A and B are shown apart, each in its own frame.
Chain A
Amino acid sequence: MSHVLDRPSTKPVLSEGKRAERRLGWLLCAPAAIVMLAVTAWPIIYSVWLSLQRYDLRFPDDRQFVGLANYAAVLSNGYWWTAFGVTTVITVVSVVIELVLGMLLALAMHRTLVGRGLVRTVTLIPYGIVTVVAAFSWFYAWNSDTGYLAALFGAEAPLTQRIPSLLIIILAEVWKTTPFMALLLMAGLALVPDDLLRAASMDGANAWQRFTRVMLPVMKPAILVALLFRTLDAFRIFDNIFILTKGANDTSSVSMQTYNNLIRGLNLGIGSTMSVLIFVAVAIIAFVFVKLFGASAPGNDPGGKR
């Protein structure tokens, strides 16, 4: 409309007070920013630096700058791509299942009128258990000697076969992190005003239409955040695989491969290359999420708050 006309085209000149206020703002942020840089930026830069060298602690004298040779080696290696595929499958499948289950749980928790606190607490128990401990209990449930679940399903040592192993890994992941998903989604549900759902009922929507056409779009930012968190987490899966299969039968993830090279193999060059590649993959995932969901990215949604 027309009042755009008299808006000044150049940036408004800040008054003296405003400028002082800004300076103070920066000063107050500075300590935190410096700490952040020190603890996150430095290790990243250092591993990038390491990834450009041949550097194996078993042969420290052979240390040498090799440019992108490590990257070529990793990216042309079948093990890496197998691990990458395994990681992707685990990530996609477990996050999808978690989203569906988490949404159901969130709806249930949102709706329960009696014992809401108790329901929430019970739901959160799996998330409160240390991953390694939980992984061990899954391990003993499925291994060939003590495996009561394996016995129950009549499975013969499932953790020694690839597909069953992957399924068990996914099961352990889902069991562990669905509560977290549910919690994030429940925060999103609270964003949907009751009146909106009542209006939708009046407009003729049934329960499913209210859910898909009103609830989901309105809570999209919360869903996005939940998905982003979980995808990034799942992509770096380590503990469960480490305990359940140790990466045997082609079940290792990229993080497992990195660990094997870096800590077990003591090959700092290759290991660092892999961790840089994981970092890049994670960055790409985050970028895609934000791009894909565009304007509904968190903190960027004028339509979301009315």
Chain B
Amino acid sequence: MAEIVLDKVSKRYPDGALAVSEADITIADGEFIILVGPSGCGKSTMLNMIAGLEDISAGELRIDGERVNEKAPKDRDIAMVFQSYALYPHMSVRENMAFPLRLAKVDDATVRRKVDEAARILDLTQHLDRKPANLSGGQRQRVAMGRAIVRNPKAFLMDEPLSNLDAKLRVQMRTSVSKLQKQLATTTVYVTHDQTEAMTLGDRVVVLRSGKVQQIGSPQFLYDNPANLFVAGFIGSPSMNFLPGTLGEGELMTALGPVTLSDRVRRLVEAAGAPREVIAGIRPEHFEDVALMDADHAARSGSTFTATVDVLESMGSDKYAYFTVEGETAASAELDELAADSGTADTGATPGSQLVTRLSVTSHAREGEPLDVWFDADKVQVFDPSTGRNLTYAG
């Protein structure tokens, strides 16, 4: 158990690449913290620096208040779970899990007890004498976890531990990782590029973009109050809709028509000194089919537009309706990067931008037919296109 502090930690690789730049993170004792970001943003590098597998170029890393920059991995008392699991192929499951204890010269009886205990927790008891090569992906993953937990380290580091599993197993293992962490209450740093994992697992989430920390906070806080366009677009699935807009007197003009901003939003935008040209962000769940609403309430609290449903996906519990919005698409460096990461860059078949809305399942929306859609004016977020800053940030 330990508190881990990254104090302006930077990493520059010998070839000059700046992988992490001045990261300031304080990880509380027992906390489950997630590092998330697109590929190549420096997550693994940061984790390896905490582990001691990569040197720290600048800044200080403290574990329990003690500077550990110069300590070898084995002296930091931290366990790590690798994406490839890195199980020793020549050892049985039991020997794999016992390896850290044997190196620590723990006596045989204790090794046995601890390995059996870990195997029981991870449901590996009947596989103890098998070799890793003969195990399924999920079992290997659990052995890797077992090897980490047997010696009660100060902290766990996990580098995309679930990314080699298929979707269903991943969801299962996600819950067991979360349960295990709660049970052991050991400080855990978990790397993932999957925002769903980030949202569901962690106490707090650190969003990284090209080596820089964008925002740190609880998953819900990041979802409700993203600090900038990048976090807004990265967190949430399906992701936030972005539309270019123009700010007027208490009003926001977008391709969906004019919106009268709520008092709260207006005050925030004014306080932030917003430019005229902005990007408006609306999450899919803040739309609704007008037919299902009280007309009066709809008119007071939001704005309504009419558009043709391109695609309708019924998920059972909700319906997702996709629309095409005519006109300019929102443009900014952050959004380009997000599009590149999710592989949706320049699909460009349709002019205009796509709008994703989540409607109640009772909606009578039909593909190819026009629909009146309402959205909540109080939930509109406004971003500065040049800096990406969230002008409605209330944190």
Contacts and interface: CB of A to CB of B under 8 A. Distances in A.
Interface in A200-216: 200-206, 209, 213-214
B90 A204 contact: no
A302 B90 contact: no
A195 to B, nearest CB: 4
Interface stretch (B99-107, B210-218, B242-250, B255-263): B99-107
A195 B89 contact: no
Contacts of A305: 89, 133
B51 interface: yes
B185 interface: no
A306 interface: yes
Interface in A60-90: none
A213 B103 CA distance: 10
B80 A202 contact: yes
Nearest to B76: A202
Interface in B73-127: 73-74, 78-80, 82-84, 86-90, 99-100, 103-104
Contact of B90 (A198, A201, A202, A303): A303
Contacts of B79: 202-203
Contacts of A193: 84, 86
Contacts of B82: 195, 198-199
B89 A218 contact: yes
Given A195-B86, A196-B88, A303-B89, A201 B72 contact: yes
B74 A198 contact: no
A217 interface: yes
Contacts of B53: 198, 201-202
A303 B132 CA distance: 7
A204 B148 CA distance: 11
Contact of A306 (B72, B100, B133): B133
Interface size of B as a range: 20 to 34
A306 to B, nearest CB: 5
Given A195-B84, A302-B133, A303-B133, A203 B100 contact: yes
B134 interface: yes
Nearest to A304: B89
A238 to B, nearest CB: 38
Contacts of B87: 306
Interface in A213-269: 213-214, 217-218, 220
Interface string A157-196: 0000000000000000000000000000000000001011
B74 A196 contact: no
B90 A218 contact: yes
A59 to B, nearest CB: 59
Contacts of B90: 217-218, 220, 303-304
B103 A203 contact: yes
B147 interface: yes
B170 interface: no
A188 to B, nearest CB: 13
A204 B133 contact: no
B131 interface: yes
A205 B99 CA distance: 9
A203 B99 CA distance: 7
Contacts of A213: 99
A206 B132 CA distance: 23
Contact of A302 (B86, B100, B134): B134
Given A195-B82, A202-B78, A203-B99, A214 B88 contact: yes
Contact of A203 (B132, B134, B147): B147
A34 B147 CA distance: 53
Contacts of A196: 86, 88
A202 to B, nearest CB: 4
Contacts of A202: 51, 53, 73-74, 78-80
B186 to A, nearest CB: 15
Max chain B Cβ within 10 angstroms of own Cβ: one of A196, A204, A209: A204
A204 B86 contact: no
B263 to A, nearest CB: 54
Max chain B Cβ within 10 angstroms of own Cβ: one of A195, A214, A302: A195
A222 to B, nearest CB: 13
A204 B89 CA distance: 18
Max chain A Cβ within 10 angstroms of own Cβ: one of B52, B78, B90, B104: B90
Contact of A199 (B72, B78, B86, B134): B86
A209 B103 contact: yes
A303 B131 contact: yes
B392 to A, nearest CB: 43
A218 B73 CA distance: 22
B196 to A, nearest CB: 25
B199 to A, nearest CB: 27
Given A193-B86, A218-B90, A304-B89, A204 B100 contact: yes
B180 to A, nearest CB: 18
A201 B74 contact: yes
B134 to A, nearest CB: 7
Interface string A280-306: 000000000000000000000011111
Nearest to A1: B126
A298 to B, nearest CB: 15
8 contacts: A196-B88, A202-B51, A202-B78, A204-B100, A209-B103, A220-B90, A302-B131, A303-B132
Question: Which are the 7 A-B pairs with shortest beta-carbon distances?
Answer: A199-B86, A203-B100, A195-B86, A217-B90, A204-B74, A204-B103, A202-B80
Given A204-B74, A204-B103, 5 more contacts: A195-B84, A199-B80, A302-B131, A303-B131, A306-B89
